[in-house]
Structure 1
């Protein structure tokens, strides 16, 4: 019970439990969302991410309606969304890459930790995306 009071100890306990039992360690993988001005730009960015082995899979969702605040006004545009599946350890490298190539002044890079999932799929991500 005392382990739950200290986040570092809790994380270590979860890690050790995962090693001993072979269960999934929550947060090892992430899903990342990146908006792009259009599908064509999204495909170029996605292909480069894949070539760099920063992701195992990327879904490209074309023609999303987006509404956001920009320069003091509400802006409405049509965009494409990349949904990226990767290792959480790759988030920094992925974010820095996106910032270097994305046409937006402030590109959206939002990640969510994977809590659970199909063990075979999660293992596949690990096989495709090297830890390095």
Structure 2
């Protein structure tokens, strides 16, 4: 069975995160996108230290969709250099893994 994969990204606001998330779920690139608003960020950007308000999005997908999902996310992402991190899953409840595979076309 193909393993689940979590993809972590940050976005400027909840509306953007939900719109991108819905598109990726509709395209079956992700089974679910969790949007966590209210994050405060401190980061280095082009030689300066910046602060900003962002939201985190955690996308639940499968390993075989890592590249297509990343490409689709990057194409929709408003940031010049979006953060897209693949977080391998070392273990998952079998029912959860089966649901992710089924919702992303991996159980065909």
- Pick the TM interval, shorter chain: over 0.9
RMSD of aligned Cα (Å): 1.4
Alignment of 1:120-131 (within 5 A): 120-131=95-106
Which of 77, 88, 113 is 2:52 aligned to? 77
Structure 1: where are the runs of 5+ without partners? 1-23
Which of 103, 125, 132 is 2:78 aligned to? 103
Q: Cα distance, 1:76 vs. partner?
A: 0.7
* TM-score, normalised by the number of residues in structure 2: 0.93
Q: Cα distance, 1:49 vs. partner?
A: 0.5
2: distance between equivalents of 1:85 and 1:99?
16
| CA distances 1:51-100 after superposition (whole Å, capped 9, x unpaired) | 11111111100011111101211111010111111011101001111111
Alignment of 1:49-88 (within 5 A): 49-88=24-63
Which of 1 and 2 has higher RCO (CA within 8 Å, sep 6+)? 2
After TM superposition, where is structure 1 displaced by more than 4 Å over at least 4 residues in a row?
none
Larger strand percent: 2
Larger helix percent: 1
